[in-house]
Structure 1
Amino acid sequence: MDNIQVRHENIEDELTTPLSSYQDPATLLQHLNQQHPQVQFTLETETNGQLPFLDVLVTRSPDNKIEISVYRKPTHSDQYIYFDSNHPLKTKTGIISTLTRRAINLSSNSPSAEIEHLRHVFTKFNHYPPKLVDKIIRSTLHPTRKEPTNKNEPAPIRITLPFIGKTSYHISLLLKQQAGIETYFTSSTTLKTVLKANGRNTSKQQQPPKGVVYKINCDCGEAYVGETSRPINIRIKEHLSSTTKSDRKSAISDHIIKCPNHNIIWGSVEILSKNHKDFTQRKLAEAVQIRRHKPSINRDQGYLVPTAYNELIKITD
């Protein structure tokens, strides 16, 4: 029993087969939700013989055959990157080819209706040239066979450049012709990344740190040390929510359940180290801080750090 490993996952969508006529789905749902308080299922039944699942619409025909097609939510706006937006042409045509391949893969019958919908959407709503749309759809429906590359040829040099319109194409052509260098474009700064809803520039506003190891103290003198790749304020809100709900999803929640008279000092969260983008590096930094601060609220000691490093970590008894 000591070697059992528990795997935690968040499953948002799952498709199951139809139940027999004598099986009550509500009874099955109740049975499943009674197995574990943190593993809960919901039930969605078909309406008019149809059931949406992700971007697939599953339809049951009168002869009980399953057919699939592309599904869009009623709130879908059919708005993609406008043709006159400042994006590389390959990005724009890539959207058309991707949605065309989706129409082919997610249609048990002919995808012609979905293809016509894409033509209408890109030409009328997103202002793409009709000839370009037809060309991309045709090449996706009837792809030409590519000649195999010679493995003995040296790999070309590839660089990435910010896309700034026609100038980027001129630079790319010159690099290809003069130096044999292939270029790829990245999108430049957009209004969304520069402006907030109130129109103020966000570049001067200090953002909560990410990739941090942090320490949360209790008024009893005990503490908790944890790590997160996300902004620290989001992780603290999760700890606070778990403590308020007493759902035991957080070690801090367990501590308050055991000691209801204690109070967590949410206003003085300490950042012990930050800028750890790499997962393994961040977990090791957490283990070092756990060894250093000896937080009694933690459920475990994190990654194993050999005792030979105690002097380096400056362990004090």
Structure 2
Amino acid sequence: MGSPLSPLGCNIFMEWLEQKAIATSPITCRPRLWRRYVDDVLEVIRRGEVDNLTRHLNQSDPTDSIKFTYEQEKDGAIPFLDTLIIRKPDGTVKLCIYRKKTHTDQYLQFTSHHPLHQKLGVIRTLLDRNDSIVTEQHDRDIEEQHIRKALSTCGYPNWTINKVKKDKSSPKPKCTSKKDKNSEKSRGLVVIPYVEGLSEKMARVFRKFGFSTAMKPHRTLRNILVHPKDKLLTNKKAEVVYEIPCADCPKSYVGETGRSFGVRLQEHQKEVQKFESKQYTRSTRKSSMTDQHKSAITDHVVATNHNIAWEEANIVDRESDKTTNGSRKPFGLDRGERTF
């Protein structure tokens, strides 16, 4: 079933709808058991009343935005989430792992560039699910064989599964004294990029000094192949530090703008063009040098009669940090830029 509502709104609406629908349902098709998780419902009703109950549920929604469909018990079994509920001949039920027909048993490949503990975590997750869901030992053994076969296809050697089983059977002892708890308390978390063979050694070093480590991939196929947004043109970028060089000397102008780089560059060009179009004599040029101009670029052009290399203007950094009151932090030119 589906709904155009938000997840939170849908859940609240579903609670109201199911309470109303169950309370108003005819006695002949009223469910004896109703258990829902998000949009999956497990129900127990009389035989032959499934169609009547489904029709009643779909008529109970005044917005007509939620539609119920159903799947009946087949061969004494019915799936619910990742659990397969099986009816036994004596009337009791047992639980097994349920996989859809489209399930491929594809897990993280053992040859993937990931830390070993993440690969062991895949094994632990599958074994924990087997122990917590499957109710009978015979079915647990069958499920474990299925897990071993699937992981073997993904390149996992047997020693990895045996290691996880051993760790599960002999968990680490809990700290009993306050001294032991304080000694094992981490001093912080360090996130490092994962490089096979190097990151594990760094983690051991950090552990000696009481720091926990987390590893993340620094280069993934998603970063290489997926680009959901078009690349922003240089003249469209805002909140930048830019440099405009002089064509006739090694000096350059470094400025900062919160608007787009293209707009700010055009403003510089228009102001300089005003003075470039004028014919200066020696006396008028000397007097114009004392005038207050809008930028140091204009001051440089008027004083030296140099040309500006507009086509070589470029962005040297991004500056988007703001203080708590919304004003911009001053940017320090600490990289040795030359300004007019």
The answer to whether the 8 Å contact 2:84/2:96 transfers is yes
Aligned to 2:198: 167
The answer to whether the 8 Å contact 2:186/2:211 transfers is no
SS in 2 for 1:96: helix
Aligned to 1:262: none
Aligned to 2:118: 91
- 1:135 CA drift (Å): 1.6
Aligned to 1:104: 131
Mapping of 1:197-276 within 5 angstroms? 202=227, 205-206=230-231
Q: Quick one: which of 151, 158, 172 aligns to 2:189?
A: 158
Aligned to 1:119: 148
- 1:204 CA drift (Å): 7.0
Deviations 1:63-83 (A, max 9, x none): 222211001111211111111
How many residues are aligned here? 192
Distance (whole Å) between structure 2 residues aligned to residue 203 and residue 25 of structure 1: 45
Structure index of larger Rg: 2
Stretches of 4+ moved more than 4 A in 1? none
Distance (whole Å) between structure 2 residues aligned to residue 116 and residue 186 of structure 1: 32
The answer to whether the 8 Å contact 1:13/1:53 transfers is yes
Distance (whole Å) between structure 1 residues aligned to residue 166 and residue 98 of structure 2: 22
Distance (whole Å) between structure 1 residues aligned to residue 74 and residue 223 of structure 2: 41
SS in 2 for 1:45: coil
SS in 1 for 2:145: helix
Amino acid across the alignment from 2:200 = Y
The answer to whether the aligner puts 1:52 opposite 2:79 as a matched pair is yes
The answer to whether the 8 Å contact 2:120/2:164 transfers is yes
Aligned to 1:297: none
Aligned to 1:75: 102
Aligned to 1:224: none
**Superposition TM-score, scaled by structure 1 size:** 0.55
Identity rate, percent = 29
Q: Quick one: which of 167, 176, 195 aligns to 2:225?
A: 195
Distance (whole Å) between structure 2 residues aligned to residue 39 and residue 90 of structure 1: 42
Q: Quick one: which of 58, 77, 102 aligns to 1:33?
A: 58
Deviations 1:263-311 (A, max 9, x none): xxxxxxxxxxxxxxxxxxxxxxxxxxxxxxxxxxxxxxxxxxxxxxxxx
Deviations 1:167-205 (A, max 9, x none): 11122223333x333211123331133215xxxxx2872
Unmatched 5+ residue regions in structure 1? 1-5, 197-201, 208-317
The answer to whether the aligner puts 1:184 opposite 2:214 as a matched pair is yes
The answer to whether the 8 Å contact 1:51/1:58 transfers is yes
Distance (whole Å) between structure 1 residues aligned to residue 223 and residue 143 of structure 2: 33
Aligned to 1:287: none
The answer to whether the 8 Å contact 2:186/2:212 transfers is no
Aligned to 2:91: 64
Deviations 1:81-125 (A, max 9, x none): 1111101111100010111010011101111111111112212x1
Aligned to 1:19: 45
The answer to whether the 8 Å contact 1:156/1:182 transfers is yes
The answer to whether the 8 Å contact 1:56/1:106 transfers is yes
Distance (whole Å) between structure 2 residues aligned to residue 152 and residue 135 of structure 1: 29
CA-based RMSD of the aligned residues comes to 2.4
Aligned to 1:132: 160
Amino acid across the alignment from 2:197 = K
Distance (whole Å) between structure 2 residues aligned to residue 164 and residue 88 of structure 1: 9
Unmatched 5+ residue regions in structure 2? 1-7, 15-37, 233-340
Range moving further from structure 2, 145-154 or 30-39 = 145-154
Distance (whole Å) between structure 2 residues aligned to residue 139 and residue 173 of structure 1: 20
Range moving further from structure 2, 36-45 or 158-167 = 36-45
Deviations 1:236-258 (A, max 9, x none): xxxxxxxxxxxxxxxxxxxxxxx
Distance (whole Å) between structure 2 residues aligned to residue 130 and residue 83 of structure 1: 12
